[in-house]
Amino acid sequence: MVDLSVDLGPLSLTSPLVAACGTFGSVVEFARVADLSLYGAAVAKSVSEEPWEGRPPPRVAPTEVGMLNGIGIQNPGIHAWSSEIGPRLPGLDVPVWGSAVGTTSDEFARVAKGLESAGVGAVEVNLSCPNLEGESMFALDRSASARVVDAVRNSVGIPVGAKLSPNAEDIVAIARSVADAGADFVTLTNT
């Protein structure tokens, strides 16, 4: 068997493939239909401090070359996630990374701390979700992105990554700002 292991900052992965969070429910549900042992890690669906209902249907629209989605980060909130999903993580065949979302840097930090307490191996800070009503994406602003990553970095002892947006005017500058603020990796990019 070919050794596909890679190092990603402080993380050692058995494979360079990371299953991104997506339009399916939880990483536990994903494990029922995918062989997670083929991945180096799997990223859980983003979770917020309080429950978010998400967008009303329809949430997915097919196109000629794929699909568009607007889920709106429906999730039960970190407390429910930690009690419902957290205990199942050790039974999966892959390291699970949490994905934190929030409306302030302090909220991101509290969610990240909750994910760490639930046993995730790393936390991805979802700066890129375009579904936040009335607010600009953190991922479009270098300073705002750096503040969020800094707050999360100072609240957890596990690796921290930042999910960036393809809509950033200068995504390289955003990536540099989150790296300077303590991100161990970046995820490129949200849809």
Active site amino acids: 129
Q: What does residue 79 show for φ and ψ, rounded to 5 degrees? A: -65, -45
Q: What does residue 99 show for φ and ψ, rounded to 5 degrees? A: -130, 115
d(CA 148, CA 130): 16
Q: Which two tokens mark 64?
A: 């000629």
Cis peptide leading into residue 104 (ω within 30°): no
CB 128 within 8 A of CB 119: no
d(CA 1, CA 80): 40
Q: Which two tokens mark 147?
A: 């503040």
Straight-line distance from the first to the last Cα atom of the chain, in angstroms, rounded to the nearest whole number: 34
Residue type (1 letter), 185: F
